[in-house]
Chains A and B, each alone.
Chain A
């Protein structure tokens, strides 16, 4: 039973105008099997929260703590965090020219599990996971994210999540820019992972649409660098009806 605990997290970023605080005291607890939707207007710091947890060097943590099953995540390097069980599905996955998807997946799997996967079952696992995400098998021989469409990139992110089997997954606007078919396929992948591995999910989104496919247990409204309000799925419905105005007013 994994548990990710974020306590009073503050983070800054360097900008041309100077140091800017983006996260201003985030409190959040995500347990295995739970889905938490983080919703908020653009610029509220949702993505920063995702990248700060994953350890992107651009963000400096100035105070607060992040622990995974009691272990200090902030003390870990980026790859240590991933090996500890944290997965970040990125909004803008990066191209890696000359590195094939299959090579990349095998290298990552080997790194995460500490040993090379048994060849026969691995090939089968990759194939069936790709099949479920409606990805053409030739995809495996393409270079990582090179020339991928927006939908292909997101499927590829979810493919990695399904194969690497993290305990906590952070999905950073995975739904942005997807058409309905792709959104359904991607959402099904997330739901499968949750069923199969009791995954804890932090679902960062700007839109309520994805919540028709992935049912959140908790909804957090993220405004001005922290959680402004939390509740159950009904909060998402309220946001749908009322928008973020009320919270933005409060933040001023």
Chain B
């Protein structure tokens, strides 16, 4: 970064974009250490900018613009003050409110909406009630299947712990909150360890029907629990998932977007972690016409840890967006984010934005985020925007890497030169691409479901 005069966070964070036939790769920082071996295409990639880095040195604290843990301490660079303006631009200052009227309707001029297809998503920007057409005729049917140790209840707006972690940051989230009178509340009590996952099956009943939901998942102190939220069918679905991760507890959340082709879905997952708490958050987006999942994690007590994992597969004319925000606001917290996506078909589109904020008080932070995209066919496009704001020099490590590559013809040639037919060679490569993520999903049936789903996606493109 030759010009460290960073003022506007949003302006310096050029998106890492790629449609075919370009492939590009960017690792955080100007030094541009390629996290995977450079491919031939890399040399000619026109947009291989150094990813988004910004530093907010308003109070003169050291801001670090390096990308790899190993080099970090050696290369810490103090940047000049960004001043008042930078303070305002930081990700942390996005407005939060329960009032729908506090939010403007999304427009492409707003940073947080600049990629989203607003016309397609338009129905979700209406302040509309849940489309109930009769006592048993809801737009979305819920089936809750929980182990006996999980307490199941409902929470009205304002009824704690609802609203203690999630305060809406967007119009859609505010509407979902206001329009959901009874939030589903699943809770693991203090000191209980629950092996069996609690499952919430969400089945959309029609692409023309609006649903609003708020779900509160809670692990009390020193408890262990896994929650699966599985979306199928079709709907126009505005959803909040509030995660209250108590001190020293371990929560795993798996959110599956297995929608039909015409579903619209905007979800906000918002987690707050207690001291020494651990959250493993997994997002899998395969279906839907347009899906956007925002994942916000607040590390507000020391020693907490977030692991964000994501896997997506976009087909022709499908839009999948994932936006992460990890807020390091306490010392010695750790966050790791790994999102991987494959795209195939004309008009397949994915967006990944990863914001990490390391506040002044978050000394000893360790964070890394990675996004990889594999573009399988022509006509698909993936955007990848990692952002890192650092307000203290006293950190363990901070880094990011983002890469979007075309399906590698040399890999294909290598496998085929061993007699492996093209279809099978493609399968091997894609399976391999996702393997490290799938291995980290601790629920076997979901691992299998995913493997099958990826096979099915591939079969679609190769017939």
Contact = CB atoms under 8 A, between A and B. Distances in A.
Interface in B394-425: 408-411, 413-422, 424-425
B227 interface: no
Contacts of A56: 413
B428 interface: yes
Interface string B421-445: 1101100110111111000000000
Interface residues of chain B: helix, strand, loop or mixed (majority): helix
A211 B410 CA distance: 30
Contacts of A54: 417
Q: How large is the interface on A (under 10, 10 to 19, 20 to 34, 35 or more residues)?
A: 20 to 34
Contacts of B37: 95
Contacts of A143: 432
Contact of A96 (B419, B421, B432): B432
A96 B418 contact: no
A122 interface: no
Nearest to B434: A98
A49 to B, nearest CB: 15
Interface string A148-174: 000000000000100010000000000
Interface in A97-135: 97-99, 103-104, 107-108, 111-112
Contacts, number: 79
A77 interface: yes
B419 A88 contact: no
A57 interface: yes
Interface residues of B, number: 26
A96 B435 CA distance: 12
Contact of B428 (A81, A95, A99, A112): A99
A93 B37 CA distance: 13
A112 B429 CA distance: 19
B82 to A, nearest CB: 38
A97 B422 CA distance: 17
Contacts of A164: 418-419
Contact of A99 (B417, B419, B429): B429
A79 B416 contact: yes
Contacts of A83: 419
B435 A94 contact: no
Contact of B413 (A57, A108, A160): A57
B414 A90 contact: yes
A61 interface: no
Contacts of B420: 79, 82, 107-108, 111
B432 A111 contact: no
A107 B416 contact: no
A111 B428 CA distance: 13
Contact of A94 (B36, B410, B432, B433): B410
B432 A57 contact: no
B432 A160 contact: no
A185 interface: no
Contacts of B422: 77, 79
A56 B414 CA distance: 9
A78 interface: yes
Given A57-B413, A94-B410, A96-B411, A108 B431 contact: no
Contact of A111 (B409, B411, B418): B418
B419 A79 contact: yes
Contacts of A55: 417
A57 B414 CA distance: 12
B433 to A, nearest CB: 6
Contacts of A112: 418-419
B414 A94 contact: yes
Interface in A45-86: 54-57, 77-79, 81-83
A108 B419 contact: yes
A96 B417 contact: no
Given A94-B410, A94-B414, A79 B421 contact: yes
Q: Which of A83, A90, A97 has its CB near the most chain B CB atoms (within 10 A)?
A: A97
Contact of A160 (B36, B411, B418, B429): B418
A93 B418 contact: no
B431 A111 contact: no
Contacts of B419: 79, 82-83, 108, 111-112, 164
Nearest to B372: A97
A82 B417 contact: yes
B39 to A, nearest CB: 10
Nearest to B37: A95
Interface in B142-172: none
Contacts of A104: 415, 418, 428
A108 B418 contact: yes
Given A99-B428, A111-B421, 12 more contacts: A79-B416, A79-B417, A82-B418, A95-B37, A95-B411, A96-B414, A96-B428, A97-B432, A99-B432, A104-B415, A104-B418, A107-B428
Which 9 A/B pairs are nearest by Cβ-Cβ distance?
Answer: A98-B432, A82-B419, A98-B435, A108-B418, A112-B419, A111-B419, A78-B416, A94-B414, A99-B432
